[in-house]
Amino acid sequence: MPDRNLHRQLKEIIIAELNLEDIKPETLADDDPLFGDEGLGLDSLDAVELVVLIQKHFGVEIKDMEEGREALTSINALAEFITARKSESEGS
């Protein structure tokens, strides 16, 4: 189960690094869509940066589109993905 601090951390990193000046972490719900016209409203070019940010801050790599499609739906999905990948690497 992801640590709730991870959710907060993800929001802060995404907002700061993608320069989303009008958005505060507390206004972003954990299950809001990250992409598209609803939710956070990120676009495909933001996805490029997001993949790199996740690797930079959490040491976790999104390897292909299938992983990305699941992980990048919402903050919840991203947090679960990161937690699962970290557990796998700690267990191996």
Partner 1 sequence: MNLQTDKPWSSRSVGAPWQHRFFYHLIRRGGRRPAYLFLYPVVLYYLCCRPELRRRTGPYLKRRFPAHGRLAGCRDAFRLLLSFSRSLVDRALVGLLGPQSLNTEFPRHDELKTAAAAGRGLIILTSHVGCWQAAMVYLSLLRRPVHLLVEQEAGNIDRHYFELTGRENPFRFINPAGFLGGALEMTCALKNGEIVCVMGDRRQGNREKHLTLDFLSAPVKFPAAAWKLAAVTGAPVAILFPLKNGPDRYRIELADIMQLNPDQARPLNRLRPAMAGYVKALENISQKEPYQFFNFYDMWETDA
Note whether 18 binds partner 1 by CB under 8 A.
yes
Residue in this structure with the two tokens 């990250």, named with its chain if needed: 34
Note whether 13 binds partner 1 by CB under 8 A.
no
Q: Estimate the crossing angle of helix 4-17 against helix 44-58, to 10 degrees.
A: 130
Q: Hey, what amino acid is at 61?
A: E
Under rule CB under 8 A, which residues in 37-76 are in contact with partner 1?
A: 43-45, 47-49, 51-52, 61-65, 68-69, 72
CB of 35 to partner 1, least distance (A): 4
Q: Could you tell me the CA-to-CA distances from 45 to 1, 37, 90 in Å, in that order?
A: 29, 14, 31
- Cα 4 to its chain centre, rounded Å, is 13
CB of 42 to partner 1, least distance (A): 8
List interacting residues with partner 1 (CB under 8 A): 18-19, 35-36, 43-45, 47-49, 51-52, 61-65, 68-69, 72
